[in-house]
Amino acid sequence: MSAQFRSHRRLLVTYLKPLWGRVILLAILLIVSIGLQLVNPQVIRAFIDATQAGSPLSTLLLAAGIFLALAVSQRIIAFLSVFVAESLGWRATNALREDLTLHCLRLDMPFHKTHTPGELIERIDADVTALANFFSQFTVNVTGNSLLILGILVLLGREDWRIGAGFALYCIAAFFLLRAIQQVAVKRWASQRTATADFYGFLEEHISGTEDIRAAGAEQYVINRLFLLMRRLLESTRFAKFVSNSTSFSINFLYATAYSAGLGVGAYLYSLHQVSIGTAYLLVFYIGMLANPLETIRKQMQDLQQASASIERVEVLLSLQPQIRDGNRAVPTRVSESGVTITFDRVSFSYDQQENVLEGINFQLQPGKVLGLLGRTGSGKTTLARLLFRLYDPGAGSIRLNDVDIREMALSDLREQVGMVTQDVQLFQASVRDNLTFFKQQVSDAHIEQVLKELDLWQWVEQLPEGLDTRLAAGGQSLSAGEAQLLAFARVFLKNPGLVVLDEASSRLDPATEHLLEQAVDRLLQQRTGIVIAHRLQTVQRADEIMILEDGRIVEYGARVALASDPNSRFYHLLQTGLEEVLA
Ligand SMILES: Nc1ncnc2c1ncn2[C@@H]1O[C@H](COP(=O)(O)OP(=O)(O)OP(=O)(O)O)[C@@H](O)[C@H]1O
């Protein structure tokens, strides 16, 4: 069994298993539809033979009525099977979309840095859409039509075994012939697409470089090259279309051959009085029915080729594993009422495995203490916060929360324990409530109200047109930067973590919002351990300890009060020069 077949089967089984009820329904509809298709010619035969035998009109009307009823039922069943197949396809692909989205969300930051959102949308949506047919129709169509062909061959064989065997050989030969032609067509279209891509690539490059081309007097060269490319495009398109058309020509040819053979056999047997005129008609009818399923199976195989490329890409994406592994150790949350202990034990880290962005970071922060993290831009402050949240793991050393290595903790536990407010708050196109709770239904409105009141934000929510139900615009465009930060504070409050990491916004805010923010920071840091990447003097004043980073190393660390009064300290100089000017 080839690896490709195994991966196709795995995907089918995984996503169709939960939908087995629908799969069975579809199979039943299919079998009934095939049965009806096979039975109908028998009714026609009975009708023709009855006419020949001069049967009464009532018998003929009965046969006609049965024929009509069967034909209408067959159409209704065909309609129902399309409906069930579509719903099956959508459900299966939506489940796959969901899994892929979740998988991408769990993949590490380096993955997201190297894969653009556009590329992921292509993987999660376009590739999966290409698989809808694979899920809903492929198995059903291939099995169904194979059964139909088999049924026709059996019924033909029942009339005369030689006819059955002969047309079985015909089907096998026709299938392989169609496939061979299709393969030539696929190759031709591939080279036509290459020629098109070259042509547009050339046009785009030379139109954007028009100034240089004119300056160099190279217009004639460009036109000559263009002619060459156009000729290649013309030739490849002509050839591809020719091969494509010969596919439909071959199908018609096969159909016509089968039909003529059917007519010939029917007429021959009838002339020998071996069959009735009804049976002769039956043979022609059944043989005529062979072409359609053959063509459907061929088309499904062609679709499968395209789906295979998508399946491969989806499988590659699913096989990527995050480097950040989930730990499983239960962690005593909040050992002390006033927060958690944080220990950085000789932590070094590099984004590219070459140059360390953090080097030998060593410190311990006691519960309830606030660390003010200072340093010029690029000194590694944000990186330190990211390590705490396990967006990345350190290259050397360890980070401990309440004396447990954060790599051993379950990621969900860790992220419950650490609340982070970044400069760039992400708001979603959803209600204020959903933006605060991250769509957790179990958080009650009363609790939200209490938290917002504590943060002095309730008034702000009350003046919104629909209170908590007010919908925010995409990207939080309807809010000011300060209001967005306030919402981010409220989010952290609702989570109630033992450690808060606050990357303060450096932008200037209006005095009223600034005041609200100040109060919120005060409340946020009460009875919690805090790490504050501060840009404002007022925020720094809240810190118990100060750490100054330079090129990823600690160049100063100590109690704020002591450093502020030591004229030899960097912190002292920073305060003298003006924090905001130096760190901006
Ligand atoms: N995702 C990343 N991939 C590669 N290098 C990065 C990445 N993020 C940051 N860096 C590099 O790491 C170094 C430290 O960056 P970091 O963002 O931690 O500094 P910072 O002190 O927080 O700066 P700022 O005050 O501007 O936010 C910088 O040299 C930066 O270019």
φ and ψ of 443, to 5 deg: -80, 120
Is the confidence at residue 584, as pLDDT, over 60? no
The confidence band for 205, taking pLDDT boundaries of 50, 70 and 90, is confident
Q: What is the pLDDT of residue 518?
A: 82
Task: List the structure tokens of 154.
Answer: 């059996």
* Residue to substitute in 112, 114, 354, 357 for testing ligand 1 pocket (most ligand atoms within 8 angstroms of CB): 357
Q: How far apart are the first and last CA of the chain?
A: 63
CA distances from 193 to 187, 234, 237 (A): 10, 12, 9
Residues 6+ positions from 226 with CB-CB distance below 8 Å:
202, 203, 206
Measured in Å, residue 514 CA sits from the centre of ligand 1 at 27
The strand ranges marked E within 201-255 are none
Q: What is the residue with the minimal CA distance to atom 30 of ligand 1? A: 378
* Residue to substitute in 349, 382, 424, 532 for testing ligand 1 pocket (most ligand atoms within 8 angstroms of CB): 382
Q: What is the residue with the minimal CA distance to atom 7 of ligand 1? A: 351
Measured in Å, residue 351 CA sits from the centre of ligand 1 at 9
Determine the atom of ligand 1 nearest the C-alpha atom of 351.
4
Q: What is the pLDDT of residue 428?
A: 82
Helix or strand holding residue 275 (H, E) = none
Q: What is the pLDDT of residue 354?
A: 83
Coil, strand, or helix at residue 327? coil
Measured in Å, residue 423 CA sits from the centre of ligand 1 at 14
Q: What is the residue with the minimal CA distance to atom 12 of ligand 1? A: 357
Task: List the structure tokens of 157.
Answer: 């064989």
Measured in Å, residue 383 CA sits from the centre of ligand 1 at 6
Is the confidence at residue 399, as pLDDT, over 90? yes
Is the confidence at residue 140, as pLDDT, over 80? no
ipTM: 0.95
pLDDT mean over 182-196? 78
Measured in Å, residue 522 CA sits from the centre of ligand 1 at 27
Q: How far apart are CA 406 and CA 404, in angstroms?
A: 6
Query: Tens digit of pLDDT for each residue in 465-522?
Result: 888 888 887 665 667 777 788 888 888 888 888 899 988 766 666 777 778 888 888 8
Task: List the structure tokens of 524.
Answer: 């946020």
Determine the atom of ligand 1 nearest the C-alpha atom of 378.
19
Residues 6+ positions from 159 with CB-CB distance below 8 Å:
275, 279, 282, 283
Looking at residue 177, its amino acid is L
Point out the least confidently predicted range of 109-113, 348-352, 359-363, 377-381. 109-113
Task: List the structure tokens of 543.
Answer: 């810190």
Measured in Å, residue 101 CA sits from the centre of ligand 1 at 27
Ligand 1 pocket at CB < 6 A: 113, 351, 357, 375, 377-383
CB 237 within 8 A of CB 193: no
Q: What is the pLDDT of residue 231?
A: 95
Residues 6+ positions from 115 with CB-CB distance below 8 Å:
none
pLDDT mean over 441-467? 82
Task: List the structure tokens of 557.
Answer: 């660390």
Q: Give the Cβ contact number of residue 444 at 10 Å.
A: 10
Q: What is the 3-state secondary structure (H, E, C) of 60-98?
A: HHHHHHHHHHHHHHHHHHHHHHHHHHHHHHHHHHHHHHH
Q: What is the pLDDT of residue 333?
A: 55
Q: How far apart are CA 430 and CA 326, in angstroms?
A: 30
Determine the atom of ligand 1 nearest the C-alpha atom of 358.
14
The long-range contacts involving 243-247, CB below 8 angstroms and separated by at least 24 positions, are 243/181, 243/184, 243/185, 243/188, 244/185, 244/188, 244/189, 246/181, 247/178, 247/181, 247/182, 247/185
More confident residue, 231 or 309: 231
Q: How far apart are CA 187 and CA 123, in angstroms?
A: 25
* Residue to substitute in 383, 549, 582 for testing ligand 1 pocket (most ligand atoms within 8 angstroms of CB): 383
Determine the atom of ligand 1 nearest the C-alpha atom of 552.
14
Q: What is the pLDDT of residue 357?
A: 93
Prediction pTM value: 0.66
Q: What is the pLDDT of residue 336?
A: 55
Q: What is the pLDDT of residue 233?
A: 92
Q: How many helices (H) and strands (E) does the chain have?
A: 24, 10
Measured in Å, residue 407 CA sits from the centre of ligand 1 at 22
Query: Tens digit of pLDDT for each residue in 252-265?
Result: 888 888 888 888 88
Q: How far apart are CA 196 and CA 468, in angstroms?
A: 53
Residues paired with 370 in a beta bridge = 530
Measured in Å, residue 549 CA sits from the centre of ligand 1 at 12
Determine the atom of ligand 1 nearest the C-alpha atom of 384.
18
Q: How far apart are CA 19 and CA 26, in angstroms?
A: 11
Measured in Å, residue 382 CA sits from the centre of ligand 1 at 7
Coil, strand, or helix at residue 385? helix
Q: What is the residue with the minimal CA distance to atom 28 of ligand 1? A: 378
Is the confidence at residue 335, as pLDDT, over 60? no
Q: What is the pLDDT of residue 554?
A: 93
Q: What is the pLDDT of residue 477?
A: 60
Is the confidence at residue 580, as pLDDT, over 70? no
Measured in Å, residue 380 CA sits from the centre of ligand 1 at 6
Q: What is the pLDDT of residue 250?
A: 78
Determine the atom of ligand 1 nearest the C-alpha atom of 549.
21
pLDDT mean over 151-164? 88
Q: Helix-strand-coil percent breakdown of the chain, rounded to 5?
A: 65, 10, 20
Query: Tens digit of pLDDT for each residue in 7-51?
Result: 778 888 888 889 999 989 988 998 898 889 888 888 888 888 888
Determine the atom of ligand 1 nearest the C-alpha atom of 423.
27
Q: What is the pLDDT of residue 72?
A: 93
Class of domain 368-377+419-427+479-583: alpha beta
Task: List the structure tokens of 219.
Answer: 């217009």
Is the confidence at residue 349, as pLDDT, over 90? yes
Coil, strand, or helix at residue 53? coil
Q: What is the residue with the minimal CA distance to atom 5 of ligand 1? A: 351
**Highest mean pLDDT: which range of 477-481, 533-537, 539-543:** 539-543
Q: What is the pLDDT of residue 132?
A: 81
Measured in Å, residue 358 CA sits from the centre of ligand 1 at 10
- Per CATH, which fold does 3-319 belong to? ABC transporter transmembrane region fold (1.20.1560)
What are the structural domain ranges in the chain?
Answer: 3-319, 368-377+419-427+479-583
Measured in Å, residue 377 CA sits from the centre of ligand 1 at 8
The confidence band for 80, taking pLDDT boundaries of 50, 70 and 90, is very high
- Strand order, beta sheet including 370-375: 418-421, 499-503, 529-533, 370-375, 545-550, 553-559
The strand ranges marked E within 324-388 are 342-349, 358-365, 370-375
pLDDT mean over 407-411? 87
Q: What is the residue with the minimal CA distance to atom 3 of ligand 1? A: 351
Question: 410-419 b/e with 16+ CB inside 10 Å = b?
Answer: ebebbebbbb
Q: What is the pLDDT of residue 506?
A: 62
Q: How far apart are CA 552 and CA 550, in angstroms?
A: 5
Question: What average pLDDT is seen over the chain?
Answer: 84
φ and ψ of 568, to 5 deg: -90, -5
Query: Tens digit of pLDDT for each residue in 280-316?
Result: 888 888 888 887 888 888 788 777 776 777 788 788 8
Measured in Å, residue 391 CA sits from the centre of ligand 1 at 13
Determine the atom of ligand 1 nearest the C-alpha atom of 375.
21
Residues paired with 339 in a beta bridge = 336
